[in-house]
Chain A
Amino acid sequence: MKRIACQLLLLLLLPLIPAAVSALWHPQGPPLNPMTLSEGEVSVAMVQQWDGPVVWVDARSPEVFAEAHIPSAVNLYVGNFDEQILAFLDVWEPGKKVVVYCDSRECGASADIARRLREEMQLDNVFVLKGGWLSWQSEK
């Protein structure tokens, strides 16, 4: 049992070294302060200062979207991506900036949808709204 405990300790301590190196030098590493904007993230204030139209994409479920959403937003839910992408393409035009949001800072759906729009649809100018729907409600 002592052998297992020592080996387990080793397996739990060794990853601290690459983890620390990654935390210090990873090019796309998230910041320790949750309010700091990462690459590809924007705040409500930043979007409000932009010139030109913005396509808002709501990455929450269709039920939550139906209750309330940012005016003119289109719903693009992870589970319905292939079906809803057509409605998105109806409102999207080249050059338009796209801002994806979900519930709050804790949800990962907006980052997922933004990643799929960039990688699968080859779109530029796709951003994630920091703080999501909650930040929109508090800052609108």
Chain B
Amino acid sequence: MAERKVIVGTIALWIIRVILAALFIYAGVIKALDPAGLLADIEGYRLVPYSVAWVGAYYLPYVEILAGVALLIPRFSEVSGWLIFLLMSVFLIAILSAWARGLNISCGCFGEALSSNSYVWLVIRDLVLLAGAAYIIILSRQRHLKSNS
């Protein structure tokens, strides 16, 4: 019974890792191809000065790509789970803040693909990804502790 639970957990962990990795690599590549579009999207949130948005427009896509790739490497799955959790938390705060200020933003999450103007949908999507990252962190941590004991 316990063995079956472990197998199911392992399969679930792999599925979530592959889905999240694919999403982050895709989102990163789309953004890396269009830094000007991403810069306009970041500026739309009106949270950071132009210079910071400019750095983010070049830096953020490659952080996402690397986080996605690292998620597929078992040794790095826990840390990339943390990184994705951190990124999703920042994105969620930015979206909630724009929503509270009544801004008309372009999310900038997946470039033009999967774009939405609905704040509710954006928040739900972020919460689902956040939950996926949390699941990866918890299970990877458990596995790491088990293998060390």
- Chain A CB within 8 A of B40 CB: yes
Q: Which residue of A lies closest to B118 (CB)?
A: A79
Across-interface contacts of B80 in A (CB, < 8 A):
11
Residue-wise interface mask of B (32-46) relative to A, using a CB-CB cutoff of 8 A (1 in contact, 0 not): 101111011101101
Give B79-105 interface residues, CB cut-off 8 Å to A: 79-80, 82-83, 104-105
Interface pair B62/A18, CB less than 8 Å apart: yes
Contact B59 A19 (CB under 8 A): yes
Nearest-CB distance from B35 to chain A (Å)? 5
**Main SS at interface, chain B:** helix
Q: Tell whether A19 pairs with B58 under 8 Å between CB atoms, given A30-B39, A106-B44.
A: yes
Knowing A111-B40, A112-B106, say if A11 contacts B54 (CB, 8 Å). no
Q: CB within 8 Å of A: which residues of B?
A: 32, 34-37, 39-41, 43-44, 46, 50-51, 54-55, 57-59, 61-63, 65-67, 70, 76, 78-80, 82-83, 104-106, 108, 112, 117
